[in-house]
Structure 1
Amino acid sequence: MRHLATASGAALMAIALAACGGGGGDGGTGAGGTGGAPADLVDGATFTMATSADPGSLDPQMSASSILLQLSGFAYDSLVSSASDGTIVKGLATDWKVDGTKVTMTIGSGITCSDGSAFTAADAAANINFMGDPANKSAFIGVFVPSGAKAAASGSTLTVTLAAPAPFVLEGLAVAPMVCKSGLANRKGLEKQTAGTGPYQLTEVVPSDHFTYTKRQGYTWGPNGATTAEKGMPQTVTVKVVPNQTTAANLLLSGGLNAATITGQDATRLEGAKLFSSQLDALVGQMWFNHTSGRPGADKDVRKALTQALDLAQVREVFTAKQGAAPTTFSVVPPLACPGDSVTPALPKGGLDAAKQALDAAGWTAGSDGIRAKDGKPLAATFVYQSAAGASGAAAAELAAGVWKQLGANVTLKAQDQTALLQTMFSSGDWDVAWLPLNVSSPDQLVPFLSGPAAPNGNNFAHIDNPAYTEAVTAAAKLPGKEGCATWLKAETVLVTDADVVPFANQPAKTFGQKAQFTSGSSAVAPTSIRMLAG
């Protein structure tokens, strides 16, 4: 699956769920050319990019945030990669075969970890077994690695046995980062250091300020054979924490940054300055309701009314600064496994007046202060969204909250950075409505977020329990590849119909470059694609 959560700069795509593991988003446009090998490449330079927040722990298998996935990409590799057209290409594995519930791979020779030790098929098996074991609570179980997957090694051969059919198993493995033996033996150490086979090694951490990575020599096993011997690859990568998009845009223009993901009016400003950019299509607006018992979102009538009351086209226009489009599926990042329209037909119609009537009929009565209540309990909602969405995101959130207040809900708005927002969603649970996009290219990787064990014991942070969805995805998973697409889309329609989760805005996310070029792959910047330019 592809991610989106690509926004390491803007963090608009908060949870990166899968992306093109190797090189593949838009090749880039703007100053310096649109493809090919740019002239005046510079060796030995430092590449500085922005991220919107400190992810906290750097353990690459315990969080699916886009910030961590971007950082992990510098130090860790995956078993295979995915090209821009969706083709699976080599990574740590040189060949592979899927036969029903068995996946067989050959791990390449000469692959070394940052500590100089060899990476082996046995290490790969240990990674799969860790991520596939529910007891370890890896963020990637059921997402990149099927739940219950068991792996074994013999020489250079890795064999993964699946507990059930997984139609897009290779797409998931194309994103799952592999940890070296030393890291597997010391998970605590992974929180502040790296132990991977990737093109860079983490050499400095200043919390909430920056992360520094240094290029490894002799790296030849990158996505589809990428190496660190390419001319123009930076010697050092510095990832700076820059919470404010406008500040990041100003730093790009002044030369203080080489890359940042920017949206809205600041993006328009950078386009006017003719900066290079690489684009990754993404879902940026997705509305979730907390289904936990006792929360207003546990009432389907409330969820549907809150959704129905909004003019989603207007909210989308404000949220994306008129640069967005209406989503038609939950998976939006190309290459799409299952194109179609699972969203539009299921959206409630009628607007604010119809929503008021629906709540009246459901027993939610407005008091003298306009706030509705049922059985003595007022309709109060804590609405959380990403502060990194900038002024347009805040304006859209205020627009939605204003409509809901007219509906009769007492709404409390909370803007949080990506790290704090994920903490709220997965740990504290103190939220009722959230705007948090999950970006994928294949629908199977969303299943753990939309069903199954609830947070903190699983990825189902909204505590969704929709039997019709579960029935549909169970049927879809039994069908090979695209044969199951109609059923996967039917499952998504069920969720929108019940207002369990509602996608409302797509937007091309542009990562801008200054004196550097790159492509967007599994994150905003594919590490092995970076080339530094003179000037």
Structure 2
Amino acid sequence: MKLTPAALGLCVTAALLTGCGGSGSDSDGNGSSGDTQYADGGTFTMAMAGDPGKLDPQSSASSQLFTVNQLAYDNLVAVDADTGEIQSQLATDWKVDGATVTLTLGDGITCADGSDFTATTVADNIAYVADPKNKSPYLGVFLPVGAKAEADDAAGTVTITLAQPAPFVLNGLASLPMVCEAGMEDRASLSDSTAGTGPYVLTEAAPGDHYTYEIRDGYTWGPDGATTAEKGMPDTVVMKVVQNEGTAANLLLSGDLNAATVQGPDAKRLDAQDLFTSQTPALVGEQWYNHGDGHGTADPGVRMGLTQALDLEQLASVATAGNGTPATTLAAIQPVACPGDSVSGNVPAQDVEAAKTALAGQKLTFLYSSAAGNAVSAAAELAVQQWEAAGATVTAKGVDETALQQAIFGTGDWDIAWVPLNVNSPDQLVPFLSGPGMADGGTNFSGIDNPDYDAGVKQASGMPGTEGCDTWLQAEASLFTAADIVPFANNLVTTYGNGAEFEMPGQLVPTSIRMLAS
């Protein structure tokens, strides 16, 4: 994924997951011309919609953590956002042979503390994420369950043995951040500091306000060989927490921010200015139901009724301020591994009379991200009106992204939630759509149990690469026909730049940042 993120800067505001890979040109073609003048050094300041919390890069699937991870940590490989081709990062050579993945590390890779980054460190990272006791949300998402790794430091190679072939294993490894040995030995230290090989190192953490990173000299192993010696790279990167889109837009226009992702009505006034932009298509409207015991939405009839009560086309239009399109697949980040349309004709159509039978007397809680902008808030109000017209009493709560993540992955205090998860290959979503729930150490936070989906995943996982795409899409469709989950809107997510250019294929690519001469 030219993870790409998550916005993710955010791939999409309120997305909990966006895979990263990282190289390629900005997606809308509004890049620099040959005569653009860059200024070396300086400070690049970017808004993010929430606080990343604990900074351990393998501890959370939040979009904010993905955002800051890119600065201090590298992945084993990268994915070109335009072509989908695997590119070098920490590894300069790779081979997949059935259930065996062999990677050769580049020479001279060092950690921010000056120590060497070795094949043994890679193997230790694989072992940590693969151990269910560590509860990394990346297990089964970016690293197949059952993976084991062996290192040969003399040859600089790592051999990963999978429990079974995985069709998009390299795409997953392109989103799995590698921690240096000091961090592996002292995981607690990663809560508020960094231990990576990335182009920047954390120098100041002010939770809830900002995180400051300083450039590393001698960095030469970025995506496709990117370095920190390029003219125009900032010496300092500040990731500033700005939860309100209107505030972010104002700070961008005043020059107090160099980058911000804005999706709602404030985007119109930014579009009227001569700003740099980078766009990426993303799934921005995705409705989840809590299938857990004790929730009204545990009843399949209630989930169906809630879906049938909605005019999804109208909701999509409102949520995207009239700029979006209907959802087509669950994995929407370019380059999409399995393009197609698993949504059309499979999501239940609006049928208010049928919904009334199922929803009479239901009292439900609906969560959405307050950081997603005014358009999403307006769409949430519209959804509540349509549910109540069908007989349900729904309490909507716009909460910040930290509270949303706590509810989804912690307390379970929700019935309906709008949580767009963004990846580029369908296998990366399997742990969120099936298998163990949160109480059992899994990441299936809504508790989905769909035998047709599980059977489709099993079949598709045994097929090489894109040969299984039709089966993957059919598996997704089974979730929609059962109203287990409801994708309803795609949009081009725009990140605006003032005084700087950058690549933002979902996630900010740090080595792409260029400060513009005034």
- Structure 1 stretch 453-462 or stretch 71-80: which is displaced more? 453-462
Letter in 2 for 1:165: P
8 Å CA contact retained: 1:264, 1:320: yes
Q: 1:465 aligns with which of 419, 426, 449?
A: 449
Q: 1:209 to 1:396 in 2, by over 3 A?
A: same
Match of 1:272 in 2: 272
8 Å CA contact retained: 2:9, 2:504: no
- Is 1:130–2:114 an aligned residue pair? no
Q: CA deviation at 1:164?
A: 1.6
Match of 1:376 in 2: none
Post-superposition CA distance 1:235-282 (Å, at most 9, x none): 000111111000000111010100000112111110111211001111
Note the residue ranges of structure 2 that are not aligned, 5 or more in a row.
none
Q: Distance in 1 between matches of 2:474 and 2:7?
A: 27
Match of 1:152 in 2: 150
3-state SS of paired residue (2:471): helix
8 Å CA contact retained: 2:72, 2:194: yes
Q: 1:7-26 to 2 correspondence within 5 Å? A: 7-8=8-9, 12-23=13-24, 25-26=26-27
8 Å CA contact retained: 1:282, 1:506: yes
3-state SS of paired residue (2:170): helix
After TM superposition, the runs of 4+ consecutive aligned structure 1 residues lying more than 3 A away are: 1-4, 7-11, 35-38
3-state SS of paired residue (1:527): strand
Match of 1:295 in 2: 295
8 Å CA contact retained: 1:23, 1:520: no
Q: Distance in 2 between matches of 1:36 and 1:83?
A: 21
3-state SS of paired residue (2:476): helix
Q: Distance in 2 between matches of 1:176 and 1:275?
A: 32
Q: CA deviation at 1:6?
A: 2.4
Letter in 2 for 1:75: A
Q: Distance in 1 between matches of 2:334 and 2:390?
A: 37
- Is 1:391–2:389 an aligned residue pair? no
Q: Distance in 2 between matches of 1:25 and 1:134?
A: 37
Q: CA deviation at 1:66?
A: 1.2
Q: 1:24 to 1:426 in 2, by over 3 A?
A: farther
Post-superposition CA distance 1:426-470 (Å, at most 9, x none): 000000000000111110000000011101411110011111111
- Structure 1 stretch 7-16 or stretch 236-245: which is displaced more? 7-16
Match of 1:77 in 2: 74
Letter in 2 for 1:160: I
Post-superposition CA distance 1:317-342 (Å, at most 9, x none): 11110011001111111111111111
Match of 1:375 in 2: none
Match of 1:369 in 2: none
8 Å CA contact retained: 1:338, 1:442: yes
Q: CA deviation at 1:521?
A: 3.3
Match of 1:96 in 2: 94
Q: Distance in 2 between matches of 1:458 and 1:133?
A: 12
Match of 1:171 in 2: 171
8 Å CA contact retained: 1:218, 1:228: yes
Note the residue ranges of structure 1 that are not aligned, 5 or more in a row.
367-371, 373-378
Q: CA deviation at 1:174?
A: 0.7
- Is 1:117–2:118 an aligned residue pair? no
3-state SS of paired residue (1:411): strand
Q: CA deviation at 1:10?
A: 8.7
Match of 2:347 in 1: 347
- Structure 1 stretch 404-413 or stretch 67-76: which is displaced more? 404-413
- Is 1:452–2:435 an aligned residue pair? yes
CA RMSD after TM alignment: 1.4
Q: CA deviation at 1:19?
A: 3.4
Q: 1:318-333 to 2 correspondence within 5 Å? A: 318-333=318-333
Q: Distance in 2 between matches of 1:272 and 1:281?
A: 21
8 Å CA contact retained: 1:315, 1:399: yes
Q: 2:416 aligns with which of 433, 438, 455?
A: 433
Q: CA deviation at 1:35?
A: 3.9
3-state SS of paired residue (2:375): helix
Letter in 1 for 2:214: T
Letter in 2 for 1:432: D
Aligned residue pairs, count = 513
> Structure 1-normalised TM-score?
0.94
Q: 2:40 aligns with which of 13, 38, 43?
A: 43
3-state SS of paired residue (1:116): coil
Q: CA deviation at 1:394?
A: 0.9
Q: Distance in 2 between matches of 1:337 and 1:89?
A: 16
Match of 1:506 in 2: 490
Q: CA deviation at 1:352?
A: 1.5
Q: 1:248 to 1:467 in 2, by over 3 A?
A: same
Q: CA deviation at 1:3?
A: 6.0
